[in-house]
Structure 1
């Protein structure tokens, strides 16, 4: 197995905000607590240890909830040890979160969790006097069913048709037997295919709801690495969060503080501007009951649940929050706070989009006096076979070239392999120099001719560009075989002209590599490596 790294900024797939964070641009320091380095984790441990929320009572509640959630699944010895260790004051978590995507969804689900597992291993090596537990936070209260009800397999969308409303975690798994029947036909009947068929069946056909199915699946894939999976939609855990729910209802602290941070982000010098990932509501809570998941709003002096007849006055809603805290669900702005209140957490690992909205939350955490975690960009990976690597080598395609947008990629390679130079940049530069002389002549004689000179310059530049494109097109026809091979390898590695990790399901690679797939990834991914990884398996 071979591994290569490409700077994120060279891939074209990561925002300037993320690239500037990785490069530790000083202007961004106001948006985070500590940069993810081994030495900074010691400071984060000290800060979290002194947090009023990392207390014995909270730890005991967390362990009791986890034991209950694991009561009906095959728990590995390492996972059991990790859960029990959470009672100890020297135990901390490293957390990633993800939606309940059908059959894990795209590959980056694996990379998130592997980054989390590997970071706990590195930290244990560096700080052996502490325990570090990898946690996968299931987004069971999410409601975006259309984002999770499919996965891609060999260019085909495996889709779960269902009428769904409310939180996805409580959705029953009716209809997934039919999905499995179709998926199994595509898989075939090899040893690895049979395992995938059985895994899908045990997860989605033999479990009654999406939460239990996803917990089973993630546990089967990662239990040997001690992963702890948590469903935070639990009354005992929500009870820990009641003070923050009440503050949100009465004071709208998140809206005020995140709005201030957005103003600060907009003043950071950057071209183009960074942009905003999420915009806060005045109240960033949903109300969940049965199949209902709707926003809570304050209008006309009362609290309401949108699209329902549910209404409370102030005293009523505060009492209701104390009685049934499980019905109050934090949205994307409040969820990170909930996580950091109920877990002894040091670091959150996520993708670029996730980190972008976490950057908006530092001021909010400071205002409510909760320790802000270290933020780490998950590993990003392109997996290629040895055969594909050999093709790239023969076609003289570099590690950075392969990330180019397809047309740009092909044009660049055609220019490189052509026996003629189809780059008119020198001619255009020479032409512009000639027109500079004409501009000076017009200035000295009759300035009314400046417009005519400009028009002629534009016409001639466009003429050169048109000729350049025609010659390039002709050369592509002449080199049709090479272009075809380059296009094929590009499409293989970047399905739908996007990152493999955001499209392809792990099952495609499991068919080839079987139970060595995840161990190979674990062995070859460095969570603190701030570059994109290309793996040849």
Structure 2
């Protein structure tokens, strides 16, 4: 995630900063306002305080264009009651019923909540809502949009934890047989939850909090019929006292409220397609690459094809009809409109229409997005305007790295900075080992190799003078002997380094914790390891860490 430099939190001794940048040039340009040409793509800017007032004023005059707040609140109340939400959540839903604006962000449901970045997004939503409440002097509700309608099981079905043996382990749940329907509609049976809990129990190191953690998850699993259910209950448990309201986008009751907007999206589908195409051309003309497909003829809507096991099927337009790619499904505009009116639970948004649907359901003051999301939201501005709507404020998600006490201690021991780990770990590790080599092994073998080559060359010249054809044989012989010297040197260095196996393990443990698989921690590790070791104090440290509306990276010491 693109960030500015800031001090780390949670350690009085450390004052290190680090800027963790994204690979999205468009996102970087938006956050840092380095390209004024892209302001037309987004409109508002999270870092401009006056834009929050402007957006709030806009929401107050556009209520007639949205779903009825009381009806939305009723659906939210039923869903959050089902997942066991805290009293603070129902107070927030009451505020929504009264027309309170929301800060929304979302993610696909993942096993045990998936990678840490999901937690970071929830924290960012809560902090952005608090920040806006303070500025505007009124309640702003944090809302997490679970993208339960998504059907990419391989993105949702796994979690990575570091085991007691200091190994990275991938926990995975297999997709049940059947059509590729949404994650929320894919049933996970009780025996599979028991298997997953056993896997998690085996993977997590022993701790004083482990029995309580496992019992909490086991209790949830008894009520969870899908990954989305379990995800929602865990997130509600973690963030309920902070008033985070949860919503499953595949909730049939939500679909009923969305029916009027689905109808509008179908009736204005050609206009929306032109809008997405125009925005895509504008992004390309500005020199940026597209982060979402804008496909000619795409309806940007999915249909759950009931005759094919509720398979989530992307709709395309051809010869005045809405069809799947293979032409096995074919609907007229009137037939699709009838579905929107009578069976809206059969319809589903894609990444380009979801932003519009969010803004129809809620008075969205701002939306919290990751780097890739910020880039593809640039394609939606013209579509919002086509429907007489307006893109909300885009708030970059905060990013964090959690540093445990033993990791911080070993970083100090080996004089490693956070930047060292992120950018030059192998080099610093090798440097440390070389510094321990009082015998100068590599140097001695290099000197021996050079000396041998100098002694051998006159002999090679002598052999060549006796018989020129011996030149090639001599060169080959020289190379083989040099290779053997190098081999012996390498084996000697390895033997020497074995004295430092404990050190090597400590260094590798630092890297595994901070940059697993060579990626930022938030993109790989699951939160369960921290819950297991620290109960929920680690989460409070994230929520209490410094916050910026334009995103950032915080190194949080536990």
Which residue in 2 is equivalent to 1:354? 373
Map residues 211-360 of structure 1 onto 2, 5 A cutoff: 211-235=228-252, 237-250=254-267, 251-269=269-287, 274-281=288-295, 282-288=298-304, 289=306, 291-306=310-325, 309-360=328-379
Corresponding residue SS for 2:184: helix
Map residues 355-434 of structure 1 onto 2, 5 A cutoff: 355-404=374-423, 406-407=425-426
TM-score by length of 2: 0.78
- 1:177-227 alpha-carbon deviations (Å, 9 max, x no partner): 211122222336543111221232122343223333222221111111111
- 1:262-288 alpha-carbon deviations (Å, 9 max, x no partner): 22222225xxxx321101232111101
Deviation at 1:72, TM superposition (A): 3.0
- 1:234-253 alpha-carbon deviations (Å, 9 max, x no partner): 45543554454344435333
2:536 is equivalent to residue 519 of structure 1: no
Corresponding residue SS for 1:36: coil
Contact 1:86 1:92 in 2 (8 A): yes
Among 185, 193, 210, the alignment partner of 2:210 is 193
Deviation at 1:81, TM superposition (A): 0.8
How many positions carry a matched residue from both structures?
A: 480
Structure 2 stretches lacking a partner, 5+ long: 1-9, 163-167, 441-489
Among 139, 161, 168, the alignment partner of 2:183 is 168
Question: Matched residues in 1 for 2:397 and 2:63: separation?
Answer: 29
Which residue in 2 is equivalent to 1:109? 118
Question: Matched residues in 1 for 2:411 and 2:118: separation?
Answer: 27
Which residue in 1 is equivalent to 2:56? 45
Contact 1:346 1:373 in 2 (8 A): yes
Deviation at 1:415, TM superposition (A): 10
Q: 1:388 to 1:236 in 2, by over 3 A?
A: closer
Contact 1:48 1:54 in 2 (8 A): no
Q: Which has more radius of gyration?
A: 2
Corresponding residue SS for 1:293: strand
- Higher mean C-alpha deviation, range 317-326 or range 483-492: 483-492
Question: Matched residues in 1 for 2:351 and 2:21: separation?
Answer: 26
Contact 2:396 2:550 in 1 (8 A): no
Q: 1:184 to 1:414 in 2, by over 3 A?
A: closer
Contact 1:45 1:346 in 2 (8 A): yes
Among 145, 157, 180, the alignment partner of 1:149 is 157
RMSD value, Cα: 3.2
Q: 1:163 to 1:237 in 2, by over 3 A?
A: closer
- 1:376-411 alpha-carbon deviations (Å, 9 max, x no partner): 111111111233223323433333333216456667
Q: 1:400 to 1:297 in 2, by over 3 A?
A: same
Q: 1:172 to 1:498 in 2, by over 3 A?
A: same
Contact 2:181 2:310 in 1 (8 A): yes
Corresponding residue SS for 1:284: strand
Which residue in 1 is equivalent to 2:479? none
2:31 is equivalent to residue 22 of structure 1: yes
Corresponding residue SS for 1:375: strand
Which residue in 2 is equivalent to 1:99? 108
Which residue in 2 is equivalent to 1:494? 515
Contact 2:210 2:532 in 1 (8 A): yes
Corresponding residue SS for 1:115: helix
Map residues 28-39 of structure 1 onto 2, 5 A cutoff: 28-37=38-47, 38-39=49-50
Structure 1 stretches lacking a partner, 5+ long: 421-472
Q: 1:72 to 1:531 in 2, by over 3 A?
A: closer
Q: 1:126 to 1:248 in 2, by over 3 A?
A: closer
Deviation at 1:354, TM superposition (A): 1.4
- 1:60-119 alpha-carbon deviations (Å, 9 max, x no partner): 110111122133343322111100111223x11011101110110111111110111112
TM-score by length of 1: 0.81
Contact 2:339 2:346 in 1 (8 A): no
- Higher mean C-alpha deviation, range 39-48 or range 389-398: 389-398
